[in-house]
């Protein structure tokens, strides 16, 4: 007998059909496959080389009448017919023990869909990069860091990572979609040493498209400059001052805001932004958008993980909360429409994830924002992640540079910055023009009027 | 148990001869060492939310990873298909790290020594689904019954069983069956029309469902989560600035994990990027501090019979009476630093390269009465619960996020305060430890440690300790 290799689309569709044949009233199947490559160099020698591929399938079944369904889920890394059959059976068994949930179930057929056209998520050049070329990129990035300053004599290494993958989604309402993605990144972590003290920092370039990869020399120099400027950091006295977040740390703060507009937190009343739709929750300077339709970016997809077409959603418009980010379940709980933000691994009930979630760029160059601050903190690193999006309490470890008379001066470390997120949002006085997408959450420089710094 | 009766031999027909052939392929271009790691992981979880069982999931993932070490270089490849052709292909890919004539693989395997730390009465697949449902329902009922101000409860029960097999080019063979189970409960409470507050509790270890029937019940976790949320309803703004801090016993041991543990991992010290590099024998903590990393405690979340490189885990003394004694080593770092592995080589899964990691990290008890420790503080903070922590091992700047703390005023615990970060400098923090309680407690079994993208389960523990100077990151300046 000649066994015919099934396509992943066929496997997904068959799994859905098997679930229906087994008594499910609805089902959805996700399959993902990926190839990863990673090389790291340290002190100009190759350290690790890793290469492999893997696949996984997951199913979610619903049983009972629509509007009163129970759900069960399972997954497997065994995509053989026996593996898929076991997976479907397990999900059907699990659906016997869950509760009837009137808000559960698949999206309405009218909500299913996908963006047409090339979203520029896959670049064949990434799959074709040679090992030698990737090693060379990492070598050059680390060398550029060493060459930048004699105080960079040590390094935690540089690495080049690439990934190609495919995602397939099928459901019992007739949706079948798939898309390929690729990505590559180059990062370097130099260590700066002076008078027995050490500081490290990093920089990276990440992209879905090989032509947008920044030069290894640029990545190495930026990383080295960042590590050097942290040397001889001081602790400052406890005080209240204006705080500027550079794009990297502003993006981390924006990630906390994402947690607060996540529909799952909203319907549970587990967010300080619950019940605030239409209210002025931030300063006029702040506009936040989620847009999964911009070609070539990390947060872009043709459809979300429930088969709903991707879209652009205005979340905060000049300080007014316009929309939460929702999947089908949270939308039904809130009597709203899904925003196409369903997100999951390969199995389970869908959660909520960002598309490209970003703060719209303002007009001022970062230097002009700094120039207006007589005394304050410029935050380059957040550590410890202490945002409580239930209450809005915010307290995080921080490092950065002190601002005096409109100029960046000495480095500061071992301090915390704290405030209430409600007041931080209202206190965003300036938004920089320096928005860049290095991941699915992106922000330009932002200035917050006042936060508590705890130090000496 | 002989190899032929082991999981991978029985289920996938893997023979010692197969293992030898994979290792020969791995060393076909030379190299100092190779190993192959097989993993078969079955997981199950169930969750209640808004009083209904909303989710139930189970699944299986399996694969094998092949590693080749040549000097400081590591080649790694894996396959999620356990067929001989695919594993041989992975071995061939990993072999590309070395360039030279083939190295010789020792023929014939010897079973490595290992502990027996987590015997199972019933394996997870022998438990009924209804037994799992009952656990989360009990948690939901207990949390709501605790106080009428509780308005949201989410409870999850999750368990897993991991079968592993490690074969090395040194001719060592080890296999293990590693159970893990955990319950967690999240509670929201509010005064009528007031803002919500959050409480969280969880626990478990290398145990199975029976643990939650006999030792720690869903009610224990539910009440603890509800208690924390209710306490927060009366919390005032946390203070800001330097002050004495008293850490309660148990989970606050994450101080040790962040402030010293990571800095003592062999890879960072071999590379010279840790602030503890080259400091063995030096005073790095107050003489009151003895810190241990012990992977051999029965049923604990961080324990392992054998580490993920096939070495038996150990009880490792890191700091003894304030003096730095040792690092945590895996095979690669110990080989390069010319010392022995401390049984600390761990990895997240077959897709990952092992590295030195902690297991269960704790401080030995001292002789102070915890009540005396609090009484000795005129104005400070008493912290009992944290949501997590993080450290930069180069500058040793660490942060811990406190979620339950109280003011200490004139030697008495007074008002609860809102969440705040505690920060400090690793080697400095433990120098300020001035009192150590007689009440050493290990945590409930909820810790997961992340390092370079790999997550592994860990445990921590500490007695009540007083730290004379620490920076508290509240808003009340």
- In whole angstroms, give the CA distance from residue A92 to residue A24: 7
Task: Mark yes or no for CB contact A270/B420 under 8 Å.
Answer: no
B342–A contact, CB cutoff 8 A: no
Contact between chains at B133 and A97 (C-beta distance less than 8 A): yes
Helix crossing, A216-228 with A131-148: angle to 10°? 40
Closest alpha carbon within chain A to B59: A75
**Which of B423, B450, B474 to probe the A interface (max A CBs under 10 A)?**
B423
Collect the ranges in chain A with pLDDT lower than 50: 1-3
| B241·A268 Cβ contact <8 A | no
Strand pairing class (B379-392; B240-247): parallel
C-beta of residue B42 within 8 angstroms of C-beta of residue A333: no
Q: Are residues B387 and A417, on separate chains, in Cβ contact within 8 Å?
A: no
In the prediction, which pLDDT does B477 show? 67
Q: What is the pLDDT of residue A78?
A: 95
Please give the pLDDT value at position B395. Answer: 83
CA distance A238 to chain B (A): 6
Give the count of alpha carbons within 13 A of A141, CB side only. 33
In sequence order, what DSSP letters do the residues of A351-400 get, joined into one string? EE--SSEEEPP-SB-HHHHHHT-SEEEEEEEEES--B-TTT-EEEEEEEE
Residue-wise pLDDT tens digits, B109-164: 999 889 999 998 888 888 889 999 999 999 999 999 999 999 999 999 999 999 99
pLDDT digits (tens, 9 = 90+) for B176-228: 999 999 999 999 999 998 899 999 999 999 999 999 999 999 999 999 999 99
Q: How many CB atoms lie within 10 A of CB B41?
A: 19
Mean pLDDT of chain B: 95
The encoded tokens of residue A44 equal 């100009």
- Chain B CB within 8 Å of residue A415 CB: yes
Secondary structure (DSSP) of A251-307: HHHHHHHHHHHBHHHHHTT-STTTT-TTSB-S-TT--EEEETTSTT-TT--SB-TTS
CA distance B226 to A148: 54
Q: What is the pLDDT confidence band of residue B261, given thresholds at 50, 70 and 90?
A: very high
- By Cβ distance, the residue of B57, B271, B477 closest to A240 is B477
**Residue B470 zone, left/alpha/beta (φ > 0; ψ -120 to 50; rest):** beta
Q: pLDDT value at position B352?
A: 97
Q: Determine whether the interchain pair B61/A50 forms a contact, defined as Cβ–Cβ distance below 8 Å.
A: no
CB B432 within 8 A of CB B207: no
Q: Say what the pLDDT of residue B193 is.
A: 84
CA distance A435 to chain B (A): 26
A383 is written with which tokens?
Answer: 């550590």
Which pLDDT score is estimated for A2?
A: 45
pLDDT at B247: 98
Residue-level pLDDT at A3: 46
Q: Is the pLDDT score of B75 beyond 70?
A: yes
pLDDT for B23-39, tens place per residue?
A: 999 999 999 999 999 99
Alpha carbons A328 and B177: distance in angstroms, whole number:
40
User: Counting runs of H as helices and runs of E as strands, what totals does chain B give?
Assistant: 11, 23
Using CA atoms, how far apart are residues B455 and B347, in angstroms rounded to an integer? 8
B92 lies within 8 A of chain A by CB: no
Maximal CA-CA distance, chain B: 76
In this complex, the residue of B62, B190, B425 whose CB is nearest that of residue A414 is B425
Mutate: best of A29, A40, A41, A50, partner B, most B CBs <10 A: A50
User: Smallest CA–CA separation between B240 and chain A, in Å?
Assistant: 5
Dihedral sign from CA coordinates of A432, A433, A434, A435: positive
CA separation for the pair A224, A142 (Å, rounded): 9
User: What is the rounded end-to-end Cα distance, in angstroms, of chain B?
Assistant: 63
Residues with Cβ within 8 Å of residue B162, at least 6 apart in sequence:
B39, B40, B41, B42, B177, B178, B179, B180
Asked if A416 is an interface residue toward chain B (Cβ–Cβ < 8 A), one would say yes
Does the CB of B472 have a partner CB in chain A at under 8 Å? yes
**B421/A395 Cβ within 8 A:** yes
User: Testing the interface with B: which of A202, A383, A424 to mutate, by most B Cβ within 10 A?
Assistant: A383
Do B188 and A396 lie within an 8 Å CB cutoff? no
Closest alpha carbon within chain B to A385? B401
């Amino acid at each position: 007998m000649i066994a015919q290799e099934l396509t992943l689309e066929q496997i997904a569709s068959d799994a859905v059909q098997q679930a229906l044949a087994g008594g499910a009233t609805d089902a959805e199947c996700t399959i993902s496959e990926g190839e990863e490559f990673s090389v790291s160099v340290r002190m100009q020698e190759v350290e690790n080389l890793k290469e492999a591929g893997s696949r996984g399938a997951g199913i979610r079944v619903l049983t009972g009448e629509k509007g009163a369904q129970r759900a069960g889920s399972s997954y497997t890394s065994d995509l053989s017919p026996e593996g898929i059959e076991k997976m479907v059976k397990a999900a059907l068994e699990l659906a016997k023990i869950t509760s009837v949930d009137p808000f559960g179930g698949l999206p309405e057929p009218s909500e299913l869909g996908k963006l047409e056209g090339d979203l520029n998520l896959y670049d064949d050049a990434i799959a074709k990069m040679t090992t030698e070329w990737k090693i060379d990129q990492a070598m050059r990035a680390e060398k550029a860091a060493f060459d930048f300053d004699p105080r960079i004599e040590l390094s935690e290494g540089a690495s080049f990572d690439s990934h190609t993958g495919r995602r397939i989604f099928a459901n019992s309402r007739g949706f079948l979609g798939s898309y390929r993605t690729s990505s590559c990144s180059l990062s370097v972590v130099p260590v700066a040493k002076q008078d027995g003290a050490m500081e490290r920092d990093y920089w990276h370039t990440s992209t879905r498209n090989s032509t947008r990869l920044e030069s290894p020399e640029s990545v190495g120099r930026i990383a080295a400059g960042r590590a050097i400027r942290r040397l001889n950091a001081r602790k400052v006295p406890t005080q209240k001052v204006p705080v500027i977040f550079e794009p990297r740390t502003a993006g981390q703060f924006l990630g906390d805001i994402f947690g607060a507009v996540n529909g799952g937190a909203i319907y549970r009343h587990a967010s300080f932004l619950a019940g605030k739709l239409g209210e002025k929750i931030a300063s006029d300077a702040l506009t936040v958008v989620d847009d999964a339709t911009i070609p070539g970016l990390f947060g872009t997809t043709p459809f979300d993980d429930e088969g709903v077409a991707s879209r652009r959603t205005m979340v905060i418009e000049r300080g007014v909360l316009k929309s939460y980010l929702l999947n089908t379940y949270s939308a039904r709980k809130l009597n709203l429409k899904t925003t196409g933000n369903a997100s999951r691994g390969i199995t389970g009930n869908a959660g909520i994830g960002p598309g490209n979630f970003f703060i719209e760029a303002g007009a001022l160059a970062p230097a002009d924002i700094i120039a207006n601050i007589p005394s304050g903190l410029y935050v380059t690193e957040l550590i410890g992640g202490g945002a409580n999006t239930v209450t809005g309490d915010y307290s995080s470890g921080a490092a950065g540079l002190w601002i005096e008379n409109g100029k960046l001066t000495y480095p500061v470390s071992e301090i915390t910055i704290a405030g209430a997120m409600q007041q931080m949002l209202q206190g965003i006085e300036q938004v920089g023009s320096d928005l860049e997408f290095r991941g699915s959450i992106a922000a330009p420089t932002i200035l917050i009027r006042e936060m508590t710094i705890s130090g000496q | 148990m002989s190899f032929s009766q082991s999981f991978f031999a029985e289920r996938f027909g893997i023979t010692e001869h197969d293992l030898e052939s994979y290792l020969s392929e791995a060393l076909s271009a030379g190299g100092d060492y190779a190993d192959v790691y097989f993993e078969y992981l079955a997981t199950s979880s169930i969750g209640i939310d808004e009083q209904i069982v909303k989710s139930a999931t189970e699944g299986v993932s399996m694969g094998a990873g092949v590693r080749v070490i040549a000097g400081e270089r590591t080649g790694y490849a894996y396959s999620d298909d356990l067929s001989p052709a695919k594993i041989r292909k992975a071995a061939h890919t990993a072999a590309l790290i070395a360039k030279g004539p083939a190295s010789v693989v020792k023929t014939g395997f010897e079973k490595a020594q290992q502990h027996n730390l987590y015997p199972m009465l019933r394996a997870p697949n022998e438990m009924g689904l209804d037994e799992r449902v009952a656990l989360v329902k009990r948690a939901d009922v207990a949390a709501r019954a605790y106080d009428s101000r509780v308005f949201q409860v989410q409870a999850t029960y999750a368990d897993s069983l991991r079968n592993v097999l490690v074969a090395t080019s040194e001719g060592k063979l080890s296999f293990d069956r590693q159970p893990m189970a955990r319950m967690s409960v999240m509670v929201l409470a509010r005064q009528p029309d007031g803002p919500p507050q959050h409480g969280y509790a969880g626990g478990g270890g290398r145990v199975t469902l029976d643990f939650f029937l006999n030792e720690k019940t869903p009610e224990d976790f539910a009440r603890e989560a509800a208690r924390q949320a209710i306490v927060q309803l009366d919390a005032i703004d946390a203070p800001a600035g330097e002050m004495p801090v008293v850490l309660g016993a148990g989970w606050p041991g994450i101080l040790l994990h962040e402030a010293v543990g990571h800095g003592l991992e062999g890879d960072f010290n071999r590379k010279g990027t840790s602030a503890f590099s080259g400091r063995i024998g030096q005073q790095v903590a107050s003489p009151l501090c003895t810190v241990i990393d012990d992977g051999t405690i029965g049923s604990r979340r961080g324990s392992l019979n054998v580490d993920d490189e096939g070495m038996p885990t150990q009880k490792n003394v890191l700091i003894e009476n304030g003096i730095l004694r040792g690092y945590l080593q895996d095979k690669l770092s110990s080989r390069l630093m010319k010392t022995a592995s401390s049984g600390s080589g761990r990895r997240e899964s077959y897709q990952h390269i092992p590295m030195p990691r902690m297991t269960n990290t704790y401080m030995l008890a001292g002789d102070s009465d915890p009540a005396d420790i609090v009484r000795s503080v005129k104005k400070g903070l008493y912290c009992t619960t944290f949501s997590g922590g993080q450290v930069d091992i180069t500058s040793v700047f660490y942060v811990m996020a406190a979620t339950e703390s109280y003011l200490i005023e004139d030697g008495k615990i007074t008002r609860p305060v809102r969440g705040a970060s505690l920060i400090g400098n690793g080697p400095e923090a433990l120098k300020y430890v001035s009192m150590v309680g007689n009440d050493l407690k290990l945590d409930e079994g909820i810790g997961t440690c992340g390092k370079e993208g790999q997550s592994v389960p860990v445990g921590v523990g500490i007695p009540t300790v007083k730290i004379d100077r620490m920076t508290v990151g509240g808003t009340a300046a």
